Amino acid sequence: MKNRILAGMVILLLTVGCATMMSFEEREKTYGKEPPVITETYASKQINPVDTWKVYLKASDPDGDIESIVVTVHMVGSGTHPISHTRI
């Protein structure tokens, strides 16, 4: 479980790092004038093998242009699971 959270944080940090390398105009074109901001997250530390792992997040998008949330999960010993798109 810690590995899942760590993988998610790494992806987030890489995304933020890549976003800071873009010019202001590129960022605004890609993410809008006010990009979404994740303010809180929660996920169970342990689940049963047959259960669905639920990840909760609290976010805001001031200009309301967010269309979906994209997630990948990398599990040690199991590899990366397919991308999940959740439409808003």
Per the structure, how many domains does the chain have?
A: 1
Q: Tens of pLDDT along 5-17?
A: 666 666 666 665 5
Cα–Cα distance between 18 and 26 in angstroms, integer? 11
Residue-number span of the structural domain to which 28 is assigned: 2-87
Closest CA to 84 of 73, 74, 75: 73
Bridge-based pairing of strands 68-75 and 37-43 is unpaired
Q: Is the pLDDT of residue 21 over 70?
A: no
User: Do residues 79 and 54 lie in contact, with contact meaning Cβ atoms separated by under 8 Å?
Assistant: no
Cα–Cα distance between 77 and 62 in angstroms, integer? 39
Please give the pLDDT value at position 15: 60
pTM assigned to the model: 0.49
